[in-house]
Amino acid sequence: MSNRVNPDLKKELRKFGEGDWNDCFNCGNCTAICSLTEKDILFPRKEIRAIQMGLKNKLASSVGPWLCYYCGECSETCPRDANPGELMMAVRRYLTKIYDWTGLAGLFYRSKLALFIGFLLVLIAVIAVGYVKGFETEALMEFGHLFEQYVILALFTLIILPNIFHMFWLTIVKQKVKAPVFSYITGFWHLIWNMFTQNRSLKCETGSFRWLEHFLIVIGYLLLLFTTVFLNWFSTENNFIIWLGYIVCGLVFVFTFDFIIDRLRKKREVTKFSHHSDWLFVIWLFLLGLTAFIVRLFVDTNLIDNNLWLYMIHLIVIAQWGILLVPFGKWTHFLYRSFAIYFANLKKSALKREGKL
Ligand code: SF4
Ligand code: SF4
């Protein structure tokens, strides 16, 4: 891959987060202190250096930024206050833009106005659907249920999978990484394990409570998706499914509320700066859990027919989340990070095969 210098790289990266790339004088303290760096995959100094030198292709082929869990330890110890943890966050947003073939991820990260227009259009579309369905509870709930299924199918086939393949292309194929075939198979188990547990973050000093909160949100969110999309939670009469739904909704909105408070307090290194995508992610996840919980409560108390506006709000939140925030926002980091670990393991297997590790 050619490593031609792009003098505008630093300027472009500034649109994706806070921080000045010139502050870093490359002492390497951040890499030394990071508990997640390994002999063959060193970050964040290497990525910061690549940006300072305008090496866009080198950055695009790097999996390092995804292996950072933003614990903030490096930012606390940086002698130049360059905030390498937040710089890595900006790089992850930028990489999301690079992988995304639609161009919308980059647009929404850079422009609040574009995002606002997107949210408004989805809101109008949902109200129009409500109007077409005569604002009738049963018809709208049936629509909502089908909508969730089609959106998931469309997102994965049209956006998420092609984008992950693009990431694979940039980090493995273009880099001519020749990993043994068996490492593609054995590494897949690690991919799934990391995706659900994100257990690498336990190596950071931020503590196991943060990890547990993240873990419960991920599990709660996935189970909420499963109960509503596949078990038709709003319409089921099965008591086990109903209670399961209440519990997972509770997990999602209680723990995301704690995340919102944490961001408002700004006490930890990682919450000192919040990009608009960070806010939208936690607030919409919170609303998703809360509105689902209240809608089911109103179904169980036979109040939903006279309070259809509640279901309309839930549908608007789901549509904005599913159409805008999942494919083009911070949600994708969860997937890219898991695949980055997979690709990093492929790189290590290739190095071992060549006797370089
Ligand atoms: S970000 Fe800070 S700690 Fe890391 S290399 Fe630059 S100056 Fe050193
Ligand atoms: S924020 Fe934490 S995980 Fe990320 S590079 Fe810094 S020390 Fe490593």
Which of 10, 21, 22, 25 has the most ligand 1 atoms within 8 A of CB, as the residue to mutate? 25
Q: What residue ranges do the domains of the chain occupy? A: 9-99, 112-350
Q: What pTM was estimated for this model as a whole? A: 0.93
The whole-number average pLDDT for the span 12-38 is 90
| Residues with Cβ within 8 Å of residue 147, at least 6 apart in sequence | 315, 318, 319
Q: What is the DSSP letter of 44?
A: S
Confidence band (pLDDT; 50, 70, 90) for 155?
very high
Q: Residues 9-99: name the CATH superfamily.
A: Alpha-helical ferredoxin (1.10.1060.10)
Q: Residue 323 above 70 pLDDT?
A: yes
**Ligand nearest to the CA of residue 52, numbered in listed order:** 1
pLDDT tens-digit map of 179-235: 999 999 999 998 999 888 888 888 887 768 888 888 999 999 999 999 999 999 999
The whole-number average pLDDT for the span 291-305 is 95
pLDDT tens-digit map of 40-84: 788 999 999 999 999 999 999 999 999 999 999 999 999 999 999
Q: Is the separation of the CB atoms in 12 and 94 below 8 Å?
A: yes
Q: Residue 4 above 80 pLDDT?
A: no
Quick one: which atom of ligand 1 is closest to the CA of 84?
A: 1
Name residue 55's beta-bridge partners: 5
Q: What is the distance between the alpha carbons of residues 318 and 320, in angstroms, rounded to a whole number?
A: 6
Residue 52, ligand 1, Cβ within 6 A: no
Residue with the smallest CA separation from ligand 2 atom 8 is: 34
| pLDDT at 120 (0 to 100) | 98
Q: Residue 1 above 80 pLDDT?
A: no
Q: What is the distance between the alpha carbons of residues 191 and 168, in angstroms, rounded to a whole number?
A: 14
Residue with the smallest CA separation from ligand 2 atom 1 is: 70
**Ligand nearest to the CA of residue 43, numbered in listed order:** 2
Q: What is the distance between the alpha carbons of residues 113 and 262, in angstroms, rounded to a whole number?
A: 26
> Position 44: which residue type?
P
User: Ligand 2: distance of its center to the CA of 72 in Å?
Assistant: 6
- What distances in angstroms separate CA 252 from CA 199, 209, 283, one per listed residue? 19, 16, 11
> Position 334: which residue type?
F
